[in-house]
Amino acid sequence: MLPTPRAERFPVNTPAASQIFTTVLSQGPLTRLEVARRAGLSAAAVTKAVRPLIEAGYLVEDADAQAPPALGRPANLVRVDGGRALFVGIKVTGDEIIGVLTDLCCRISVARHTALTSRDLTAVLAAVADVVQELRIEADGFGAPVLGVGIAVSGDVDRGEGTVRYSPFLEWHDVPLAELAGITTGLPVTVDNDVRALTVAEQWFGAGAGLSDFAVVTVGAGIGCGLVVHGRVVAGAHGVAGEIGHVTVDPSGPRCHCGNRGCVEAIAADAAILRRIREATGVEVADTTEAVRLAHSGVAAAREAYARAGEAIGRGIATVANLLGPERVIISGEGLAAYDLFAEQIRDAFTAAAFGSAARCDVQTRPLTFEEWARGAAATAIQSFIRADT
Amino acid sequence: MLPTPRAERFPVNTPAASQIFTTVLSQGPLTRLEVARRAGLSAAAVTKAVRPLIEAGYLVEDADAQAPPALGRPANLVRVDGGRALFVGIKVTGDEIIGVLTDLCCRISVARHTALTSRDLTAVLAAVADVVQELRIEADGFGAPVLGVGIAVSGDVDRGEGTVRYSPFLEWHDVPLAELAGITTGLPVTVDNDVRALTVAEQWFGAGAGLSDFAVVTVGAGIGCGLVVHGRVVAGAHGVAGEIGHVTVDPSGPRCHCGNRGCVEAIAADAAILRRIREATGVEVADTTEAVRLAHSGVAAAREAYARAGEAIGRGIATVANLLGPERVIISGEGLAAYDLFAEQIRDAFTAAAFGSAARCDVQTRPLTFEEWARGAAATAIQSFIRADT
DNA sequence: ACTGTTCTTTTCCGACGTCAATAAAAGAAG
DNA sequence: CTTCTTTTATTGACGTCGGAAAAGAACAGT
């Protein structure tokens, strides 16, 4: 977001034009008329907005257009030329930095993992700069410029300011990360919360494309949730939003690190599942892979732990659906590796707890590799580049 | 919303102008410069938008401006002339119709209650027409035209279409109420869900003025919730939203009419409190007035029922705060008559269950008479008249 | 009276998007 | 093969909206 020297700028500033570009970006190849309809504009406006974008190389006409049973003049499909520009997305965790290089359509071409030896700001900054530098070298092979960097951090992040207000994992307070990383990398940097970044990726390049109200629920080490309401990601007045992990599902349940009992996260997060298996069997379980294996081999305690987790998640999703009435909920995260172990419970608990037609909400799952978190960061960088506030 | 013959129209159509008017309407008398700041526009735009509105009589310059310690040219305050136009708000319940006459600033001048003998559509329509007619006669005394009617109905209402999709109390399905009532009254009619209407009233004329993210929680016969996110009332993709009443707070709690156990509504709604007192004491309690009396006179079972209700409400509010991070939550409804009986529990449960800085959310209470529901309906009519989609 | 300060208005101008008309590109009909 | 119909894309004129900048207005000190 910072003014970085000689950075290439998107050749469009009007709200309508950036909305048109966004529509093409997220809703695949479209005819100009169809773009006009979906963006609520006239066909003329689309024609006028599209031309400079084609000239600048961001849009192309799809020559090999599939011709649906057409009457009248055949339509010319317009799509984004993903290869026109590249972006870097970075996910910072407590002990690792994951970087990806994506094109303008947020397709990953290269990924890099780097272990983090220290959580000091300077160490993280250096590691980030290293990863960005490596990916820029890779980028040379693609013949397109890298136009921005997105960094995703868990915790309380002010994207507008580009600061990390508080990160429990990194133990940072009020770090102006966008500015600092902008200096070390020489590129425009966008910083956002990791779950919100993932939500942006779904909104523009995933299962949320074209929807104005949906939710993303991540299952894994923690239980997170990104919300899109009225077409915009919810940020929360005080930096807190989407804390589905701390919705109470059982006041007499296990204690959560937040101090309450029976939070979704205290039942369905990886550590909670491992703990429950240990408490039931007395056997220490190393990691989730092991836990999944146990469950699949029929160990009752493991199966039961996953069933309870599924029920908690389903209830949490129902709570979101009851309050916001989203069109769709996308369940994602590393925890989905065990999806078959709790899919049924999620669905049953959701259906039972959803009120009235909130149950008509479409609940989907989407597998998630760890690089997807970094891809979310890239999505925020793309969003900032286009500077669409939608 | 229907095109009604010779209805007076608001002399403004541009988004900026209606936003300017809305800002003045909801944020009291303001200087033009201050309006510009809050609306994110230039001072010139405000001057240009304000003039025709003053000429049409909707705005006036406040002559008796309080002059704060001023340096430089004194500011001219602009405010809405409430007396310029009148609106009718109607709340339809299962057995009563409440109508109010308000001015443009949504201040009630007259109220009318009419018992409903039948829930048939024709009977309700006739009663609505009667109430509107009576209020229009009253309106003659104020020398201002009645410019619209708002009707609030509980259930699934499509405000855009002006239809009641489903109302459990009235047993209506897909009734085009706005159109029908428009014919019988000869005025433009807006139909909306009752809780959302109340939320609009708070957003424009109440404790939500100027906020872009807040929630209204109503406590009484049911537990409802209206949400404003990104400056707009949440309607829900399937007509369901804000169902805080069916957030589960205790999976082993009392059964709720929705089929689940331990919903907020199953613990904190009027009937739930009465039932709990009856089950604990064996004494049949007639109504909430009686229940409050018992609690005030020290009957332990009654006090405990209210305490539990407060805890459930506080947890429900915390759930909203954790998911959406609103700036403020406004607790309202007839149930507040017993506020002193559960205020402490609401606050404690909220503080305990709110995650991190979500607890910084400002929780307020606002007493609510039954006419306020009708006032909410009037607010939707005013909103439609100005046709601001904000 | 003059200056400084702040609010308000005016004038000018560029930009944006719609309207309506026109061109383009097919298949269908004769 | 020509002409018509249908649908999509483009063009240019036009009106409008809102911003920038400058001028004006209204007061308090000095």
Q: In whole angstroms, what is the distance from residue B323 CA to residue B318 CA?
A: 8
What is d(CA A291, CA A270) in angstroms, rounded to the nearest whole number?
9
Contact between the CB of A13 and strand C at under 7 Å:
yes
Q: What is the edge-to-edge ordering of all strands in the sheet holding B30-31?
A: B30-31, B77-80, B59-62
Q: How far is the CA of B73 from the C1' of C3 (A)?
A: 14
Report chain B residues whose CB lies below 8 A from the CB of A249.
248, 251
- Identify whether the C-beta of residue B361 lies closer than 8 Å to the C-beta of residue A278: no
| Chain B residues close to A361, C-beta within 8 Å | 237-238
For residues B167 and B152, give the distance between their C-alpha atoms in angstroms, rounded to a whole number. 11
- Mean pLDDT over residues B62-67, rounded? 67
Closest CA to B181 of B233, B131, B222, B113: B131
Residue of B nearest to A246 (CA): B355
**Counts for chain A of helices (H) and strands (E), in that order:** 12, 16
d(CA B328, CA B311) in angstroms, rounded, equals 19
pLDDT digits (tens, 9 = 90+) for A265-308: 999 999 999 999 999 998 888 899 999 999 999 999 999 999 99
Q: Which residue of A has its CA nearest to B244?
A: A323
Confidence of residue A389 (pLDDT cuts 50, 70, 90): low
Does residue B31 reach within 7 angstroms of strand C, measured from its CB? yes
At residue B263, φ and ψ (nearest 5 deg) are: -65, 155
8 Å CB contact of B237 and A320: no
Strand segments (E) across chain A: 30-31, 59-62, 77-80, 86-92, 96-103, 108-115, 146-153, 156-158, 163-167, 172-175, 189-193, 214-219, 223-229, 232-233, 328-332, 362-365
Q: Taking residues A362-379, what's their average pLDDT?
A: 95
Q: Nearest nucleotide by C1' from B14 CA?
A: D17
CA B285, CA B294: separation in Å to the nearest integer? 9
Q: Nearest-CA residue of chain A relative to B233?
A: A230
Structure tokens at B202: 């708070």
Instruction: Give the C-alpha separation, A139 to B182, whole Å.
Output: 63
pLDDT value at residue B286: 87
pLDDT at residue A363 in the model: 97
DSSP state of B82: G
Per-residue pLDDT, B68: 65
Q: Protein A8 CA to nucleic acid C25 C1', in Å?
A: 37
Closest residue, chain B, to A353 (C-alpha): B260
Instruction: State, as a whole number of angstroms, the distance between the CA of A71 and the C1' of C30.
Output: 19
- Averaged pLDDT for residues B144-163: 96
Question: pLDDT per residue over B200-221, tens digit each?
Answer: 999 999 999 999 999 999 999 9
Q: How far away is chain A from the Cα of B94, in angstroms, using its nearest Cα?
A: 20
Rounded to whole angstroms, the Cα distance separating B172 from B253 reads: 31
Q: Which residues of A266-301 are buried (b: 16+ CB within 10 A; e: fewer)?
A: bbbbbebbbebbeeeeeeebeebeebbebbeeebeb
AA identity, residue A21? F
Q: What 3-state class would DSSP assign to A117? A: coil
Query: Rounded to an integer, what distance in angstroms lies between the CA atom of residue B1 and that of residue B179?
Result: 8
Are residues A290 and A218 in contact, defined by beta-carbon separation less than 8 angstroms? no
* Structural domains of chain A, with CATH: 15-80 (1.10.10.10), 84-201+372-386 (3.30.420.40), 209-365 (3.30.420.40)
- The answer to whether the CB atoms of A322 and B250 lie below 8 A apart is no
Task: Say what the pLDDT of residue B4 is.
Answer: 43
| pLDDT over threshold 80, residue B105 | yes
Query: Cα dist. A356→A330, A375, B254 in Å?
Result: 20, 36, 19
Helix (H, G, I), strand (E, B) or coil at A345: helix
Identify the pLDDT of residue B75: 87
Eight-state DSSP code of residue B356: G
Say what the pLDDT of residue B20 is.
Answer: 95
- Distance in Å from D14's C1' to A46's CA comes to 18
Class of residue A107 by CB neighbours under 10 A (exposed 0-12, middle 13-18, buried 19+): middle
Res. B176 pLDDT band, cuts 50 70 90: very high
pLDDT at A28: 79
Q: Compute how many other C-beta atoms are within 10 angstroms of the C-beta atom of residue B110.
A: 18
Q: Can you tell me the mean pLDDT for B296-324?
A: 96
Q: Give B362→chain A minimum CA distance, Å.
A: 11
Mean pLDDT (whole number) for B69-92: 91
What's the confidence (pLDDT) of residue B246? 96
Indicate the pLDDT class of residue B70, thresholds 50, 70 and 90: confident
Enumerate the residues of chain B whose CB falls inside 8 A of the CB of residue A323.
225, 227, 241-244, 247, 319-320, 323-324
Instruction: Check whether residue B63 has its CB closer than 7 Å to nucleic acid strand D.
Output: no
**A335-371 as b/e: b if 16+ CB within 10 A:** bbebbebbbebbeebbebbbbbbbbebebebeebeeb
Give the pLDDT score at A4.
41
Two structure tokens written together for B102: 């308000």
Bin B167: left if φ > 0, else alpha if -120 < ψ < 50, else beta.
beta
How does strand A232-233 pair with strand A223-229? antiparallel
What per-residue confidence (pLDDT) applies to A2? 41
Q: Which of B239, B270, B264 is nearest to B334 (CA)?
A: B270
| pLDDT attached to residue B6 | 54
- Span A22-48, average pLDDT: 93
pLDDT at position B46 is 96
What's residue A6's pLDDT? 52
**Contact between the CB of B52 and strand C at under 7 Å:** no
Q: What is the pLDDT of residues B326-363, one digit of tens each?
A: 999 999 999 999 999 999 999 999 999 999 999 999 99
Residues A21/A388, Cβ–Cβ less than 8 Å: yes
CA atoms of A201 and A376, how far apart (whole Å): 5
A48 touches strand D (CB under 7 A): yes
Q: Among A150-164, A325-339, B1-15, B375-389, where is mean pLDDT lowest?
A: B1-15
Mean pLDDT computed over every residue of chain A? 92
- What's the Å distance between residue B389 CA and nucleotide C24 C1'? 39
- pLDDT given for residue A103 in this prediction: 97
Sheet containing strand A328-332, edge to edge, reads A232-233, A223-229, A214-219, A328-332, A362-365
CB atoms within 10 A of CB B115: 8
Mean pLDDT of chain B: 93
- pLDDT exceeds 60 at position A223: yes
Angstrom CA distances, A190 to A14, B62, B193, stand at: 21, 45, 40
Which of A230, A243, A265, A328 is the best mutation test for B, with the most CBs of B within 10 A? A243
For residue A146, what pLDDT is reported?
97
Give how far Cα B41 sits from Cα of A387, B15, B23, B244, Å. 19, 11, 12, 37
| DSSP characters over A45-72 | HHHHHHHHHHHTTSEEEESS----S--S
Banded model confidence at residue B3, pLDDT cuts 50, 70, 90 = very low
Q: Residues A56-115: pLDDT tens digits?
A: 999 999 876 566 667 878 888 999 999 999 999 999 998 899 999 999 999 999 999 999
SS3 B138: helix
B42 touches strand D (CB under 7 A): yes
Where residue B241 falls (left for φ over 0; alpha for ψ -120 to 50; beta otherwise) is beta
Cβ neighbours around A207 below 10 Å, total: 18
Q: Indicate if CB(B68) is under 7 A from strand D.
A: no
